[in-house]
Amino acid sequence: MIETKIKQTVRDVNDFPKAGIVFKDITPILKDAGLCREITAALAAQLSALKIDVVAGIESRGFLFGMSLAHLLNVPFVPIRKAGKLPYKTVQQSYDLEYGSATLEMHEDAILPGQRVLIHDDLLATGGTVVAASRLIEQMGAVVEGYSFIIALAFLNGNERLKVFSPNNFALASY
Identify the band that residue 100 occupies on the pLDDT scale cut at 50, 70 and 90. confident
pLDDT in tens, 14-57: 999 889 999 999 999 999 999 999 999 999 999 999 999 999 99
Contacts of 109 (CB under 8 A, 6+ apart): 88, 89
Q: The domain spanning residue 161 has which CATH number?
A: 3.40.50.2020
The predicted model gives 57-77 an average pLDDT of 97
Whether residue 13 is contained in a domain is answered as no
- pLDDT score at 43: 98
Annotated catalytic residue, options 3, 37, 81, 98 = 98
pLDDT in tens, 16-27: 988 999 999 999
- pLDDT score at 121: 98
Whether residue 66 is contained in a domain is answered as yes
Contacts of 167 (CB under 8 A, 6+ apart): none
The predicted model gives 59-71 an average pLDDT of 97
Identify the band that residue 97 occupies on the pLDDT scale cut at 50, 70 and 90. confident
In degrees, rounded to 5, the angle at the alpha carbon of residue 156 between the alpha carbons of residues 116 and 67 is 35
- pLDDT score at 16: 94
Is the pLDDT at 98 greater than 80? The verdict is no
User: Would you call 81 a catalytic residue per the annotation?
Assistant: no
The predicted model gives 88-111 an average pLDDT of 93
Is residue 36 within 8 Å of 29, Cβ to Cβ? yes
Whether residue 63 is contained in a domain is answered as yes
Cis peptide before 113 (omega within 30 of 0): no
Whether residue 108 is contained in a domain is answered as yes
pLDDT in tens, 121-164: 999 999 999 999 999 999 999 999 999 999 999 999 999 999 99
Is the pLDDT at 102 greater than 80? The verdict is yes
Whether residue 165 is contained in a domain is answered as yes
Q: 10 Å Cβ neighbour count for 61?
A: 18
Q: 10 Å Cβ neighbour count for 54?
A: 21
Query: How many domains does the structure of the chain reveal?
Result: 1
Is the pLDDT at 91 greater than 90? The verdict is yes
Annotated catalytic residue, options 11, 38, 59, 61 = 61
Whether residue 34 is contained in a domain is answered as no
Whether residue 94 is contained in a domain is answered as yes
Whether residue 35 is contained in a domain is answered as no
Domain of residue 59: give its range. Answer: 51-174
The C-alpha atoms of residue 138 and residue 125 are separated, in whole angstroms, by 21
User: Would you call 61 a catalytic residue per the annotation?
Assistant: yes
